Amino acid sequence: MDWNAILTNVVNVCIDVAFKLLLSAVVFFVGRFIIKLVVKFFPNSPKHNHIDPTARTFIESFIKIALNCVLIVTIIAIMGVPMASVLTVFATAGAAIALAVQGSFSNMMGGIMLLIFRPISKGDYVDIDGKAGTVNEIGIFYTQLKTPDNLTVSIPNGTMTSSTIVNYSREENRRVDVTVDVSYETDIDKAREVLAGIVESCEFALKDPKPAIVLSDMADSSIQFAVRVWAPASKYHATKEYLLETSLLALDKAGIEIPYNKLDVNVITNK
């Protein structure tokens, strides 16, 4: 047995493995650096300013995952692992992972559907199954909402595709509906005149479409007026708050009673 030949082969193998490990390490760190540059450069590139912010976030996440997969395959090839074996392992692992992460795959497909049909966009104020907030990010698997009280809500994209989505920001204007109750003794024309003055004084109320003040219902103890005013979507809450507060003050100043439920209790004592 030629020990010198065996020792020479072992040394050569060790050198070859060490070289491949060193090269793989260099490729890994250089690759990670390049991926970070690409991901950082993509949103800041002037060429991509025309891309919708919703699609931009999704594309960034997809590019990052795809480049990392390419980096892993490259390192495996450098180590000298036969690609046929790698593909077989990936196929087998892929089948097993697909069964284990059906929910994640559903979320990814949901993200793609959101990107294609675009029921929501970044910055929209939406309500998704009772969870309301501003769309902060649409990722591959989850969509993040920022609630008015500064909470972050993450909703799986798969759930969103099967949920009812109410988008409050899609249209430029919204109708603000306020119900005002007055007593049956009220002069209807006078009440309507007071409410019209309130609408006229509201800085956010639009002239077109024209505001409407209609008698909407006759309840048990009050007459109900429906005040319908169109306003910019961004000023919806400010407009509603103004109409409610000003109506209370103006009707009281005009001597118009705003009724409320009363309960009369009669105590009968046995003598």
CA distance 250 to 198: 8
Task: State the pTM of this model.
Answer: 0.60
3-state class of 45 per DSSP?
A: coil
Non-local CB neighbours of 261 within 8 Å, separated by 6+ positions: 221
Token pair recorded at residue 98: 């697909």
Q: What is the model's pLDDT at position 84?
A: 66
229-262: per-residue pLDDT in tens?
A: 999 998 999 999 999 999 999 999 999 888 877 6
Residue 124 is given by DSSP the state -
Non-local CB neighbours of 6 within 8 Å, separated by 6+ positions: none
CA distance 19 to 206: 73
- Which one has a higher pLDDT value, 195 or 259? 195
Phi-psi category of residue 77: left, alpha or beta, with phi > 0 → left and psi -120 to 50 → alpha: alpha
Q: Shortest CA distance to 140 belongs to which of 98, 182, 111?
A: 111
Whether 233 and 174 have beta carbons less than 8 Å apart is answered as yes
Per CATH, 111-167 and 173-253 having the same topology is answered no
CA-based end-to-end distance of the chain: 126
Q: From edge to edge, which strands make up the β-sheet containing 212-218? A: 173-182, 223-232, 212-218
Which phi and psi (to 5°) does residue 164 adopt? Answer: -85, 125
Residue 216, pLDDT > 60, answer yes
92-148: per-residue pLDDT in tens?
A: 766 665 555 556 667 777 877 887 788 888 889 999 988 899 999 888 788 999 998
59-72: per-residue pLDDT in tens?
A: 777 778 788 888 88
Tell me which of 19-28, 33-42, 137-146, 217-226 is least confident: 33-42
Q: Could you say which architecture CATH assigns to the domain 173-253?
A: 2-Layer Sandwich (3.30)
Whether 254 and 236 have beta carbons less than 8 Å apart is answered as no
Domain segments of the chain: what residues? 3-100, 111-167, 173-253
* CATH code, residues 3-100: 1.10.287
CA distance 4 to 14: 15
Residue indicated by tokens 């920001």: 169
Whether 121 and 171 have beta carbons less than 8 Å apart is answered as no
Question: If you count them, how many residues does the chain have?
Answer: 271
* CATH code, residues 111-167: 2.30.30.60
